[in-house]
Chains A and B, each alone.
Chain A
Amino acid sequence: MNKKITQLKQELSKAVIGQETMIEGLLVGLLCDGHILVEGVPGLAKTTTINAFSKALGLDFKRIQFTPDLLPSDIIGAQIYNPQDHSFSIKKGPLFTHLLLADEINRAPAKVQSALLEVMQERQVTIADETFKLESPFLVMATQNPIEQEGVYALPEAQLDRFMMKIVVQHNSEEEELEIMRKGASKSFAEVQKVLSIEELHTLQKGLEKIHIDKELEQYIVHLISATRDPAKFKLSSIAESIMFGASPRASIDLYKAAKAKAFLRGNDFVTPADIGYVVHDVLRHRIVLSYEARAKGVSTDEIISTIVETLPIP
């Protein structure tokens, strides 16, 4: 099955140069049925990446540009009155897709962000009195721009918790940028071909269940999450004042699943502490709420996670 993953990565590399972190994150999200929040400045191939994924997997893809005047009905759909036969019909919104790019999600007000809650958690949409199940896979890749502060609505904690991972996308290296520049100027990016069917993707997802994780590592994951809630218990008093709220139980589940997916992507049939290390920052960075003191001192959640990982002994 790993051959398929290699093929998929090769196909994606035709359209996306570099950005391994984002691609790995999306693969983990696809395998675990989790949603991904991507933070990065504009122009880092976020749309191109998810578009390439949809083509390589033969999946539907839709993009919603979030704006302050967006309404919930603009994304989930609405009941429309037909004056000819005096009846109402359901007009489905752009949510009805496999891969959804919610671009600049923090530009929309809370009511629109909340409209995504049911979809992301239950994978179903309720329009008027009718509920529709969404086809599998359904993956939301939301982006937010970290630069601008004016006219943005910070995502509520409940919403953030629905995202399996938050990936911080960085600029490409100079070599990668050179390749992008040349290919972009000559329009020589190759067309992405379908290399994986939905059935094969489902098989890959089922393959995750076979990945073995040791009891000690399960305990290690639980300790990592508990340390965000009660640092003093794990001799981490130095960060206790920096944390207002620790990670939720969803974080334990997502870290467990993500570590398995990472082991799978690395071609292993068992999870090692390094697999957890590879995904722990992405899974936890948006789930830890910093205290006012920590924000004033400029402490980041990544620093807190690093301190926890550095302190808790690995099995």
Chain B
Amino acid sequence: MKNSLGKLILVLLCSLWLHAEDFKYHFTLSNTSPYVKEAVIMTLDLNQSNRNKVLFFHFALKKNPDYEFHRITAKETGENIAARVHYEYLIYPLRSGEIQLHFDLIQKATTEANLVYSFSGDRDNVKGLTTVDTQIDLPPLTLKIKSLPKGTSLVGDFSLTHSLKTNKAKAYEPLPFQVTIKGSGYPPLLENLLPENINFTLFKENPIVNAVNSSQGTSSTVVYPMALSHSQSFELEPIVIKAFDPKTQKSYTLKVPKQHFNIRKVDVKSLVDKIDSPKPLESDLPWLSTILISLLSYLVVFAAGFLTAISLKWKKKRTAQTSHPLKKKIEACKDEKALLQLLMATDAKQFALSIEKLEKGLYGNAKINFNKVKQEVLEMLK
């Protein structure tokens, strides 16, 4: 679609500024007689005329099954006493004939003093803004909606692509198949993409929709992921979607050509389950086998638990005996001074007795057996 909606000349419905008590307003519509599901851009400008008040506006379109709408922008400019608000809406009519757009507009009036007071609050001391709210009755806008050519499924300028990795598979093996519809216009969401009366199993997911609304309409990409499966070769009939482009006012069709799938039959003997609905296994003495299985299970579980407990205990004991981080360091000490230094660094209070002995040897005149002291320290670690 090379021509965008924005390039169209806006059709001015209300070129005059209408007056309410405290403000003027002005509606524009890009098209007053669109087709069903053709994008219509509606704008509303609100300009404050009474400068004795501080005005805020709350505007919204009323929900109606006759149309679908999306707000594009809501820009607030101007000052407190000269509010200017510009709203822009994208509207899609959903039925033909005459439909009316209804609005909700609330005027919120306050004073500058109230505004200053509310601003003086903070996160822990919120001061609400007091306003006098007035519901404004805006006259509805009327659209005369033209009906679409018979059989039309999509409205807009779209292209269709499909992807199929392979058309060969084993019996019941799923064949991934994907259809993508991309373009501008009413989002191309179809309930039934494939032709009716299919003779294969269809696995389908929800379509993946990526749509962006703007003042040029809606640009969308809709992906329909699915998988097809059958026990024998089959054909997918051509997919034909009838579309209508309101800009050119011409109908066109989107097509996926007929697809043939070759399915290779699987040898039943190679399958794990060779018998359909086999009978359950039966024993001559079912109660005996139950007791034996229970007993055996109990013994196996008991033995596993018992062995685990023993191995953990043994491992813990072995770890405690061999891998104390200090042990190696103590064994590596070559003289009294080195051992004293090490004990001071680790936990002087725990080794107070040994430290005292080493001190006497080093700084007193006592004779000590270094190896004996070392052994005492190692004993303390056990």
Which chain B residues border A278 with CB–CB below 8 Å? 344, 348-349
Query: A274-B340, A314-B337, A314-B340 are contacts. A307–B359 as well, Cβ < 8 Å?
Result: no
Question: Interface residues of A toward B: which range?
Answer: 10 to 19
In Å, the complex CA distance between A106 and B1 comes to 70
**B340-A309 in contact (CB<8A):** no
Within the complex, the shortest CB–CB distance from A181 to chain B, in Å, comes to 24
**A277-B355 in contact (CB<8A):** yes
Give 1 or 0 for each of A71-96: 1 = CB within 8 Å of chain B CB: 00000000000000000000000000
Query: A272-B359, A272-B363, A277-B355 are contacts. A313–B341 as well, Cβ < 8 Å?
Result: yes
CB neighbors of B among A281-315 (8 A):
281, 305-310, 313-314
| B337, B340, B345, B348: most-surrounded residue (chain A CB, <10 A) | B345
**A307-B345 in contact (CB<8A):** yes
Query: A274-B340, A277-B355, A314-B337 are contacts. A309–B363 as well, Cβ < 8 Å?
Result: no
Give 1 or 0 for each of B131-172: 1 = CB within 8 Å of chain A CB: 000000000000000000000000000000000000000000
Within the complex, the shortest CB–CB distance from B370 to chain A, in Å, comes to 16
Residue of B whose beta carbon sits closest to that of A276:
B344
Question: Interface residues of B toward A: which range?
Answer: 10 to 19
Residue of B whose beta carbon sits closest to that of A314:
B341
In Å, the complex CA distance between A303 and B349 comes to 16
Query: With an 8 A cutoff between CB atoms, is B342 at the interface?
Result: yes
Which chain A residues border B348 with CB–CB below 8 Å? 274, 277-278, 281
Query: With an 8 A cutoff between CB atoms, is B346 at the interface?
Result: yes
CB neighbors of A among B344-361 (8 A):
344-346, 348-349, 355-356, 358-359
In Å, the complex CA distance between A307 and B346 comes to 9
**B345-A277 in contact (CB<8A):** yes
Which chain B residues border A307 with CB–CB below 8 Å? 345
Query: A273-B340, A274-B340, A314-B337 are contacts. A306–B345 as well, Cβ < 8 Å?
Result: yes
Which chain A residues border B337 with CB–CB below 8 Å? 313-314
Which chain B residues border A310 with CB–CB below 8 Å? 341-342, 345
Interface of B is mostly: helix
| A21, A278, A306, A310: most-surrounded residue (chain B CB, <10 A) | A310
In Å, the complex CA distance between A308 and B349 comes to 18
Residue of A whose beta carbon sits closest to that of B363:
A272
Which chain B residues border A306 with CB–CB below 8 Å? 345-346
| A20, A272, A281, A308: most-surrounded residue (chain B CB, <10 A) | A272
In Å, the complex CA distance between A314 and B356 comes to 15
Which chain B residues border A314 with CB–CB below 8 Å? 337, 340-341, 344
In Å, the complex CA distance between A281 and B343 comes to 13
In Å, the complex CA distance between A253 and B348 comes to 21
In Å, the complex CA distance between A305 and B35 comes to 83
Residue of B whose beta carbon sits closest to that of A266:
B356
Which chain A residues border B349 with CB–CB below 8 Å? 20-21, 278
CB neighbors of A among B54-99 (8 A):
none
Within the complex, the shortest CB–CB distance from B355 to chain A, in Å, comes to 5
Within the complex, the shortest CB–CB distance from B332 to chain A, in Å, comes to 12
Within the complex, the shortest CB–CB distance from B28 to chain A, in Å, comes to 58
**A274-B345 in contact (CB<8A):** no
In Å, the complex CA distance between A204 and B345 comes to 29
Q: In the complex, which of the residues A274, A280, A308, A313 contacts B359, with contact meaning CB atoms closer than 8 Å?
A: A274
- 30 of the cross-chain contacts (CB-CB < 8 Å) are A20-B349, A272-B359, A272-B363, A273-B340, A273-B341, A274-B344, A274-B348, A274-B356, A274-B359, A276-B344, A277-B343, A277-B344, A277-B345, A277-B348, A277-B355, A278-B348, A278-B349, A280-B344, A306-B345, A306-B346, A307-B345, A308-B345, A309-B345, A310-B341, A310-B345, A313-B337, A313-B341, A314-B337, A314-B340, A314-B344
Residues in A lying within 8 Å of B, measured CB to CB: 20-21, 272-274, 276-278, 280-281, 305-310, 313-314
Residues in B lying within 8 Å of A, measured CB to CB: 337, 340-346, 348-349, 355-356, 358-359, 363
